[in-house]
Structure 1
Amino acid sequence: MNTFIAVIVIFAVLVSIHEWGHLVFAKRAGILCREFAIGFGPKLFSFQRNETVYTIRAFPLGGFVRMAGEDPEMIQIKPGYEIGLKYDEQGKVNEIIVNNKSKHPDCEILQVEHIDLEHELVISGYINDEEFVSLDVDEKAFYIYDEKPTQIAPYNRQFASKSVGKRAMAIFAGPLMNFVLAVIAFIAYALIAGMPTEEAVVGDLTDDGVAIEAGLETGDRIVEIEGNPVSDWFEMTEEIQTRPDQEVTFVVERNGETFDVSMVTQVREGPDEMEQGVIGVYPPMERSVTDAILFGFTQTYETTILIIEALGMLVTGQFSLDALAGPVGIYEYTGEVVAMGLLILFQWTAILSVNLGIINLLPLPALDGGRLLFIGLEAVRGKPVDPQKEGMVHFIGFALLMLLVLAVTWNDINRLFM
Structure 2
Amino acid sequence: MEAIVSFVTGILAVVCAFGFIIFIHELGHFLTARWVDIRCPQFAIGFGPSLFGFRWRGTNFAVRAFPLGGYVLMNGEEPGERAEDPWAHAVKKYLGEEDFPASPTRLLEVLQAVPEAERGADWRDVYDQVAFARCEEFPNLKSVEGNFHDRSVWARILVISGGVIMNFLAATLILWSIGPFYGLGSFFRDWPPVISQAVVGGPAEQAGLTARDLLLKVNERELGSDLEAFHAIGEYPGVPFQLTYQTPGQAAKTITIRPWLAVGDQAYEVADSGEVTLKRSASHPELAGKKLALSRDELVQAVKSASEAKEETYQVVFEGTEKPISFKLSERYPEPRGQIGVHFGVMDIRFEKDVHSEVAAVKPGSRAEKAGFKPGDLIVQVDGLLLLGRFESYGSLLDPALQQISEIDQIPEVKVYVARDGGGEELVLKKDDGPLTAQALGLELRQVTGSEIAAAPFRLIGELLYSPIMIARAYFSKQATSQEIVEGLQGPIGIMQMIYNLADNGIIKFLFFVALLNAAIGAFNLLPFPALDGSRLVFLFWAAIRGKAVDPDKEAKIHLAGLMILLSFVVLVSFGDIKRLISSSVLVL
> Could you say if the C-alpha distance between residues 294 and 369 of structure 1 is closer, same or farther in structure 2, counting changes exceeding 3 Å?
closer
C-alpha distance in structure 2 between counterparts of 1:238 and 1:224, whole Å: 14
C-alpha distance in structure 2 between counterparts of 1:315 and 1:53, whole Å: 48
> Could you say if the C-alpha distance between residues 383 and 137 of structure 1 is closer, same or farther in structure 2, counting changes exceeding 3 Å?
farther
Partner AA of 2:553 in structure 1: Q
Query: 1:4 aligned to 2:143?
Result: no
C-alpha distance in structure 2 between counterparts of 1:20 and 1:11, whole Å: 14
> Could you say if the C-alpha distance between residues 155 and 285 of structure 1 is closer, same or farther in structure 2, counting changes exceeding 3 Å?
farther
The Cα of 1:235 is off from its aligned counterpart by: 6.9
Give yes or no for contact 1:244–1:276 (8 Å, CA) kept in 2: no
Give yes or no for contact 1:43–1:58 (8 Å, CA) kept in 2: yes
1:304-357 per-residue CA deviation (whole Å, 9 max, x = no partner) reads: 334552365468764432332211111122234334433333332222222211
1:158-196 per-residue CA deviation (whole Å, 9 max, x = no partner) reads: 111111101001101111221222222222231221369
Identity %: 28
Query: 1:35 aligned to 2:42?
Result: yes
SS in 2 for 1:388: helix
Counterpart among 17, 26, 30 of residue 19 in structure 1: 26
Give yes or no for contact 1:46–1:56 (8 Å, CA) kept in 2: yes
SS in 2 for 1:117: helix
Query: 1:191 aligned to 2:180?
Result: yes
Counterpart among 450, 457, 460 of residue 299 in structure 1: 460
C-alpha distance in structure 2 between counterparts of 1:56 and 1:365, whole Å: 27
Residues 258-407 of structure 1: pairs in structure 2 closer than 5 A: 264=406, 270=417, 291-306=452-467, 308-310=469-471, 313=474, 318-320=481-483, 321-407=486-572
> Could you say if the C-alpha distance between residues 228 and 409 of structure 1 is closer, same or farther in structure 2, counting changes exceeding 3 Å?
closer
> Could you say if the C-alpha distance between residues 239 and 289 of structure 1 is closer, same or farther in structure 2, counting changes exceeding 3 Å?
closer
Give yes or no for contact 1:143–1:151 (8 Å, CA) kept in 2: no
SS in 2 for 1:9: helix
Q: How many correspondences in the alignment?
A: 332
Query: 1:158 aligned to 2:147?
Result: yes
Partner AA of 1:300 in structure 2: I
> Could you tell me which residue of structure 2 aligns to residue 66 of structure 1?
73
> Could you tell me which residue of structure 1 aligns to residue 95 of structure 2?
121
Partner AA of 2:455 in structure 1: L
1:81-127 per-residue CA deviation (whole Å, 9 max, x = no partner) reads: xxxxxxxxxxxxxxx9xxxxxxxxxxxxxxxxx96836993279xxx
Give yes or no for contact 1:375–1:384 (8 Å, CA) kept in 2: yes
* Structure 1, 7-16 or 336-345: larger mean CA deviation: 336-345
> Could you tell me which residue of structure 2 aligns to residue 201 of structure 1?
none
> Could you tell me which residue of structure 1 aligns to residue 206 of structure 2?
none
Give yes or no for contact 2:39–2:147 (8 Å, CA) kept in 1: yes
> Could you say if the C-alpha distance between residues 339 and 375 of structure 1 is closer, same or farther in structure 2, counting changes exceeding 3 Å?
same
Calculate the aligned-residue CA RMSD, in Å. Answer: 4.8
* TM-score, normalisation: structure 2: 0.47
More strand per residue: 1 or 2? 1
The Cα of 1:16 is off from its aligned counterpart by: 1.3
1:22-73 per-residue CA deviation (whole Å, 9 max, x = no partner) reads: 1111111111111122122322221111111111122222221111111458
SS in 1 for 2:76: coil
C-alpha distance in structure 1 between counterparts of 2:74 and 2:165, whole Å: 19
* TM-score, normalisation: structure 1: 0.63
* Structure 1, 5-14 or 397-406: larger mean CA deviation: 397-406
Query: 1:182 aligned to 2:171?
Result: yes
Give yes or no for contact 2:46–2:63 (8 Å, CA) kept in 1: yes
Partner AA of 1:388 in structure 2: D
Partner AA of 1:121 in structure 2: L
C-alpha distance in structure 2 between counterparts of 1:335 and 1:191, whole Å: 26
Gaps of 5+ in 1: 79-95, 97-113, 125-135, 197-206, 210-218, 246-262
SS in 1 for 2:38: coil
C-alpha distance in structure 1 between counterparts of 2:545 and 2:26, whole Å: 27
Gaps of 5+ in 2: 1-6, 99-108, 130-140, 186-222, 226-353, 355-360, 385-404, 409-413, 419-423, 584-589
SS in 1 for 2:41: strand
The Cα of 1:77 is off from its aligned counterpart by: 7.8
C-alpha distance in structure 2 between counterparts of 1:174 and 1:331, whole Å: 21
C-alpha distance in structure 2 between counterparts of 1:276 and 1:42, whole Å: 64
Give yes or no for contact 1:38–1:64 (8 Å, CA) kept in 2: yes
Give yes or no for contact 1:225–1:239 (8 Å, CA) kept in 2: no
> Could you say if the C-alpha distance between residues 412 and 287 of structure 1 is closer, same or farther in structure 2, counting changes exceeding 3 Å?
closer
* Structure 1, 41-50 or 310-319: larger mean CA deviation: 310-319
Give yes or no for contact 1:121–1:139 (8 Å, CA) kept in 2: no
C-alpha distance in structure 2 between counterparts of 1:305 and 1:244, whole Å: 31
